[in-house]
């Protein structure tokens, strides 16, 4: 029983996102991801880890220079993972949805 409990605890710890890495990733996003578009196009996504990884690769392919890739990935998965509730729709003042 005990070894099983220990390995489960370890797994939980490994899976838990590191707050320092998340903050580093948030800073990296602010620094490099705003050169071509706003943050909203990123923040409305709900992707799993593999999808976020491919998304970063896609942006790098278009010339984005990412220095803190691991931290950025941690931040994106922790904040905009596919386990998070859908992003609220953007609405104009009169309540009609923005394009
Ligand atoms: C070199 C310019 C450029 C930079 C810098 C850039 N992007 Fe993009 N990004 C684009 C373009 C162009 C699109 C629209 C592509 C389309 O319409 O499919 C886009 C779209 C997106 C989308 C919407 C989904 C998609 O693939 O179309 C996400 C998410 C995204 N970018 C994430 C990021 C992240 C995260 C970063 C920072 C690591 C970043 N982008 C930096 C050019 C860039």
Looking at per-residue confidence, does 75 or 90 come out higher? 75
Residue 71 inside a domain? The answer is yes
- Residue 11, pLDDT above cutoff 60: no
CA proximity to 46, closest of 89, 81, 90: 81
* Arithmetic mean of pLDDT, 53-67: 98
CATH code, 51: 1.10.760.10
Calculate how far, in angstroms, residue 13's C-alpha sits from the geometric centre of ligand 1.
Answer: 31
Q: Which residues contact 62 (CB under 8 A, 6 or more apart)?
A: 36
Residue 29 neighbours by CB under 8 Å, 6+ apart? 39, 42, 72, 75, 76
- What domain range is 63 assigned to? 16-80
Q: Place 19 in a pLDDT band, splitting at 50, 70 and 90.
A: very high
Please list the residues that pair with 97 across neighbouring strands. 91
pTM for the predicted model, two decimal places: 0.84
- The predicted pLDDT at position 36 comes to 97
* Inside any domain, residue 9: no
* Amino acid 63: pLDDT: 97
Answer yes or no: is pLDDT of 39 > 90. yes
Cα 81 to middle of ligand 1, angstroms: 17
Give me ligand 1 centre to Cα 65, in Å: 12
Instruction: Tell me how many domains the chain contains.
Output: 1
């Amino acid at each position: 029983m005990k070894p099983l409990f220990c390995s489960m605890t370890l797994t939980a710890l490994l899976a838990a996102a590191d707050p320092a890495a998340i903050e580093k990733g948030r800073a990296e996003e602010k620094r490099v991801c705003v050169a071509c578009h706003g943050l909203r196009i990123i923040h409305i996504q709900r992707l799993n880890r593999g999808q976020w990884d491919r998304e970063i690769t896609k942006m790098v392919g278009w010339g984005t220079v990412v220095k803190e890739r691991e931290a950025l990935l941690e931040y994106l998965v922790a904040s905009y993972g596919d386990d998070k509730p859908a992003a609220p729709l953007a609405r104009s003042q009169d309540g009609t949805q923005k394009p």
